[in-house]
Amino acid sequence: MNIRNCFLTSLLVLCCGVSGASLAVGTGYSDDTELFIYDFAKAGDFRPKVLFIFDNSGSMKNTTEVAKEPYDSSISYPSLANDPDVNNSNRFIYFSTDGKVPAINSTKRFSEDLNACATSKGPLNNVGRFQSRVWGYEIYDSNRKGRWRSLNDFNIYSIIIADCQQDIDEQNASNQYSGPYSTYIVDGYPVDKPNRKTGSWFYTSNVANALANGSSTQISLFTANYVRWYYGSTGVSTQTRLKVAQDAVKELVLATPAVDFGLAVFNYNDGNEPGNRNGGRIIRNIVGNDAILTSGKTGAQDLIDKVNSLSSDTWTPLCETLYESYRYFGGLGVYFGDDDVNRTPKRDSNAEVTSGIYKTPYDKCSNNGYIIYMTDGEPTNDKAADSLVANLISTLSAEDKVAYGGLVSYGSSGEKSYLAALAGYMKNNDVNTSAIGKQTVTTFTVGFGDEAIKGAGALLAETARRGGGKYYPATDATQLNEALKSSLLAILKMNTSLVSPAIATNNFDRTRSLNNIYYAMFEPGAGPRWKGNLKKLVLAPEKGYVVDSTTYKDKYGNDAIGLPAISSDGTILESAKTYWSSTSDGNKVAEGGVQEMLAAKTNRNIYVIPPYTSELNSFSKSTLESMAGGATELRTVMKLDGADSMDDLLNWTKGMDAFDENKDGEKTDIREHILGDPLHSRPLVINYGCTKSTGQTSCTPDLRIVMGTNAGFLHMFKDSSTTVDESWAIMPYQFIANQKALRENLDSSVHLYGVDSSPTVLVNEKVKDGHIQSAQGDKVWLFTGLRGGGKAYYALNISNPDSPSLMWRLDKNSAGFGMLGETWSLPEIAFIPGYYTEINGKKTYKPVLIFSGGYDQAKSYLGQGAEDSEGLGIYIVDAEAGTLLFSFTPDETSATNKQVAGMVYSMPGSVSVLDSDGDGISDRIYAGDTGGQIWRIDMKGEDKSKWTAIKFASLGNAHLSEDDKKLADDRRFFTQPVLVRTINKGWKYDGTNYLYSERPFDAVLIGSGDRNRPSSEATTQNVYVMLRDYNVNPTLFGATSEPAVPSSITLDDLYDVTSDPFTGLNEEQIVNTTKALTSKLGWKFWLNESGEKSMGAGLVLQGKLYFTSFLPQVQDFQQCTIQSIGAMRQYMIDMHYGTSFKYVLDSNNQEVIQRYVEVQNKVADDLVIHGGDDGRIRIIGGAPGKEVILKDDGKGEPERCTGEGECSQGAEEAKMDMSPKKIYLYEGEQG
């Protein structure tokens, strides 16, 4: 076969049969989800606010067996079998992420002299445990450069130092470290920066520069002595439940200084009538453990003393006490809290602003409170709050009443309680309407003892489910201790200060096929599961704007379809009815589009890609168990606890409402929202064409759209004009491990990733009839990476779109791919020299994929100039088999690799491939990296060992010495270079004179910006550049009879065109400026606004360059809101000279030059070219185009867009009639 380049014109379908042009916009921490979730903890103290509701009822006098005495730090517990430290000389500290105590021989440990977390020392010495976000330091090269990473990434063999978030929060700079690197460690806070051999390179004295909160997981630390007590101490005794609970709370409080605790208990409650001392009271306001109270005690000691002073002599008013807690969090009046005035401990007056009015525990900008409700029995004398809760429930919608407002039965009598309804209300509604934002309360429940589990277990479980927490049954002291630890660990893993913007964003992707425009949308959330959708609109060339599917009467009274659909800010109008939708859905992610179809689809084709074999399997329990090695192993992979149902979670993953989230009593219906978010996955439209019947002049093409989501699936949809259907969904096996977290969807800063990359496609149409049919030998191969979802590529044969098959998979563990990082790079399809089959002297070139090494996620935490350990290199693989043909990496030279010095920065952007001599065989590659470098690869001739890689440009920190590296120069390239073959008509300076010449060159255009940290306002001076490469022919630099290796282009070699270089100049100045500009090796355009960065590839149309930048929004700490995610600028300048060319009318109706258009609340990625049926070229994804105002003559059409500032075209005309956007089509050899 051979390759034919097709250019996207109005004849796209007739010429090519496939459209791959697309645009993606979008984005845990340290990635671009920071645009949509912001941590307002930066504004103040945001430690979790936890209220213990402690059961002090009479049944707490009952006794329970205790398997061991409480931990006593003054006792040295004896060694255990396999104890690595029998003499207790090294005094190890053990760690885990699940709160469980590691085995004594676990490698998840380190010597205590490596512990620099000062705030952990007291808890570890006193109670043997400590909880916080903890990092370890990793050194990754001989210069002792390194990075801080989650402690969970380490073991006994790799830890050199450990430190914690709590030191930063409490501004405790003490580092009592006595390990081998003590020379380099001074007091301060953990920081990632350009680390050197000498000086304090672990730490900073400025707490503002310390590691970001959320950049590690929650870690539990345990002393070796505690581990020996836990696994070795025995001696059964009997204690009251009250004493067991008191000991458990004491240990929990002392081990967790990162939490602010409060305490509520029951009043005596001897009846349900007024005057019977109903409900409960707040006996300790929520304050920090380290706070010094008026009594002189610390907050921790005061709480422990209050707990220890409790007696067990009340009834069990569970709902009444929760209602009083609701009023406390809401800052409302005391209700039950003053009913039992003589009982001690008395209510805490510090919990009230004035007598009788609660002081809400919420801090500024915090929006979550937490309750841990521990009880040993079912409710008794618990009806006094029923009418009060019923009043709250009465304000809910009918849907919410069904979801969480119902009563729950308990006990053998079948009595019903409002407890779960109140917890559901507190979780889903604003409990403090006087504060900014929405304040909610999450409730965890602990049932202690058989009576509680049997009599109230169902009620407590439902209370926790509706309250957004979890229920923990505990039959003995050990289980109670674990239950309290687990509930608190779950709270710590939630982020208490996350907010999402009040927008259903359409900073989404658009891709064009024919006149259809597909919008991949997502709605940010505070948990890991974000909603997604795919919607369709149509660009109507005859009208000049994007329209929806609304039907109306035109001015002649005839039925018509399609009103303007895009607002003036580029979003879908709220009143628009997108295609495939039954009602007006507008910009609402949860409504219309493919989601509406999926919500009614009962028969889906779902497949799973095995971890090691190249085949697709049906998504079923038996298949997954076979892949895991058994049912037990699959439960481990899926992270299921003992009580979790595997069947329910698998059914939920397939789209069933297996957990009855809509509370209709059915578990086999379809859940409310199925499609995950397509955060970075650009929809790919594949036109399979159609066959015209005799006499037909046209036919309806078979259009398929392929898109990945972070639910872990790759989807194919079929567009049948006004309806849509899902062809199939495919999940790589590893994403089954994410499903439990996605289902639970607990508030968290960590956004889970799945198939997060954009697919690309190769088409081989053997019979050129405009209709792809596998039966006649036509082939369609699809390729996709995972981006943030992992380090792998997959190839699918979708020649028959309804019957996909897996061709191959490769990942970081495949031979030759050890340096592969997160697979951000979209593979480029090409032919290369020497790779063909030859039959009877005829060469048939085989297609290959070319992609870069991807991204090293650790880059987000590192300082300027830091080198990476993965995401390195450029790879060439066989498109059909997935085998490595050749690579360029820092690894040693081999038969399949060329060692390249200096290629030490990850390369997330796609490569650009060039056929420089027009023979149909690609012979050159350009790629940028995150060190500000641009690489040129030459593939001249069939001998791969002679191919060369040179550092074409160095525009960041890479070429600077360690001492010269600055944050301002930390430029990173994330985008694909734009290549344009052109001529420099200008002057060349020979050192004495300017000589006029017309020299051909290949222009390389690219902009810098940290795509993974778009909200960063770092002082990096980003830049967009045009570089001139005068070596336009295939070249093997440095070889015999070949040009010498040229010096890398630096910023000093470029002319500054940031301000229009010719504005206001006279004729002589214009000549001199032209000489100076054209004699340089290109130009530079500084992105001067605070935090401004390039985040998408530009495009060039007839010598005019369009590119975008992003300006992050400074968040409003005073209002605790995200006013905007930021602004997009679309620049329009002449590619050769940097002059402005867009003219607009000013307020005086005079034409003025406009260098850019700015659009608020928008992030742009690659711009997309649309070749319309009217022959006009339009740009989609940047500025929304001209305003659309429909004239209302009273005869028809205008139902919207009748005023200024309401609607826009939805695309910007480029004032030309040809697009140079290249895609690929493969043809079989004739004859």
Provide DSSP, 18-68. -B--EE------SSGGGGT-EEGGGGS----EEEEEE--BGGGGSEEEESS
pLDDT > 80? residue 780: yes
Q: What is the pLDDT of residue 28?
A: 32
Chain segment 89-130, per-residue pLDDT in tens: 668 999 998 888 999 999 999 999 899 999 999 999 999 999
Name residue 935's beta-bridge partners.
Answer: 927, 951
Q: What is the largest CA-CA distance in the chain?
A: 104
Point out the least confidently predicted range of 6-10, 408-412, 562-566, 739-743.
6-10
Would you state the structure tokens that stand for residue 1224, as one six-digit string?
A: 């690929």
Cβ 200 vs Cβ 194: under 8 Å: no
Residue 662 pLDDT more than 70? yes
Given pLDDT bands bounded at 50, 70 and 90, which one contains residue 143? low
386-436, pLDDT tens digit by residue? 999 999 999 999 989 988 999 999 988 889 999 999 999 999 999 998 887
Q: What distances in angstroms separate CA 1077 from CA 1003, 1067, 1083, 1136, one per listed residue?
A: 14, 15, 7, 9
Write down the pLDDT at residue 368: 82
In this predicted structure, what is the pLDDT of residue 967?
78
- Average pLDDT in the chain: 84
CA distance 897 to 1227: 30
Helix (H, G, I), strand (E, B) or coil at 12: helix
Segment 580-583 long-range contacts (CB within 8 Å, at least 24 positions apart): 580/535, 580/536, 580/722, 580/723, 580/724, 581/535, 581/549
Higher pLDDT, 860 or 69: 69
**Confidence band, pLDDT 50/70/90 cuts, at residue 861:** low
Say what the pLDDT of residue 1224 is: 34
**What pLDDT shows up at residue 766?**
84
| 448 or 525: which leads in pLDDT | 448
Say which range, 432-446, 475-489, 917-931, has the weakest mean pLDDT.
475-489
Residue 142 has pLDDT above 70, yes or no: no
Residue 85 pLDDT greater than 50, yes or no: yes
Is 0.85 topped by the overall pTM? Answer: no
Which domains, ranges and CATH numbers included, belong to the chain? 46-67+236-295+302-309+319-387+422-497 (3.40.50.410), 92-229 (no CATH), 509-602+1175-1213 (no CATH)
* pLDDT tens track for 1062-1086: 888 999 999 899 999 999 999 999 9
pLDDT score recorded for residue 693 = 67
- Classify each residue of 254-272 as buried b or exposed e, where b means 16 or more C-beta atoms within 10 Å of its C-beta: bbbbbbbbbbbbbbbbeeb
- CA-to-CA separations, 1052 to 556, 686, 926, 1055, in angstroms, rounded: 65, 45, 21, 8
Tell me what pLDDT residue 1109 has.
92
- Rounded alpha-carbon distances, angstroms, from residue 310 to 49, 54, 297, 344, 346: 22, 9, 18, 8, 11
1036 burial type by CB count under 10 A (0-12 exposed, 13-18 middle, 19+ buried): middle
pLDDT of residue 205: 80
User: What whole-number percentage of the chain has pLDDT above 90?
Assistant: 52
pLDDT confidence of 815, banded at 50, 70, 90?
Answer: very high
